[in-house]
Structure 1
């Protein structure tokens, strides 16, 4: 039997900023709910694209050649290998779509870095 999921309820289970939670899977792609505030870290995903969809609030993604502003309802795909730094001045809810192999902060490790096991909990 298929189970209906509710996006609002998924975000209610996210309690910490920058700590994405896996809420679904489509083929080799994970759907992750995350609440963000402040900045993460400059990083890249060498082998994977990453999609940011803004569910609530706004954020910006700093890139080496500029800044992209995202508001509620917007989405943006960061191509593999592109260094980026996600930033939100106020709390922002995002839905991430990433390959199962995507490391949270690429090859950068900070206190905010979450393992895939932590993202499934």
Structure 2
């Protein structure tokens, strides 16, 4: 049976900031929800594009040559290979759409880095 899901209810699974949870799949793209606050880490995804959709709150994405300010309802696609650093002054809820091969923090490893197995829990 094909059943609908509530995007807002999916955020109930998220108990830590910067710890995305996989809530769906479209072809080879994963749909992930995350609650974010503070900053993640400067990183890039060498082979994958990444889409950020702001469900609640505001998110600043820093790039090497500019900053993008995103508000509720905004989305931004970051092309593969572009270094970026997401920052949220207050808690922000995001939907990420990215290929399964996307490493959470690219080749950077920090205490906030989550494996694909962690994201599936």
Give the TM interval when normalised to the shorter protein. over 0.9
Measured in 2, the distance between the counterparts of 1:82 and 1:107 equals 13
Q: Deviations over 1:76-110 (max 9, x none)?
A: 00000000000000000000000010000000000
Identify unmatched segments of 5+ residues in structure 1: none
Q: CA deviation at 1:8?
A: 1.1
Task: Write the distance in 1 (CA, Å) between the matches of 2:4 and 2:79.
Answer: 30
Write the distance in 1 (CA, Å) between the matches of 2:107 and 2:114.
12
Looking at structure 2, the residues matched to 8 and 82 of structure 1 have their Cα atoms a distance apart, in angstroms, of: 29
C-alpha deviation, 1:3, in angstroms: 1.9
Instruction: Provide the rounded CA distance (Å) in 1 between the counterparts of 2:59 and 2:29.
Output: 23
The runs of at least 4 aligned residues of structure 1 exceeding 6 Å deviation read none
TM-score by length of 2: 0.99
Deviation at 1:43, TM superposition (A): 0.1
Q: 1:98 aligns to what?
A: 98
CA RMSD of aligned residues (A): 0.4
Please state whether the residue corresponding to 1:118 is helix, strand or coil.
helix
Question: Which position in structure 2 is the counterpart of 1:62?
Answer: 62
Name stretches of at least 5 consecutive residues in structure 2 with no aligned partner.
Answer: none
Name the structure 1 match of 2:108. Answer: 108
Aligned counterpart, 1:73: 73
Instruction: Report the alpha carbon displacement of residue 115 of structure 1 after superposing the two structures with TM.
Output: 0.1
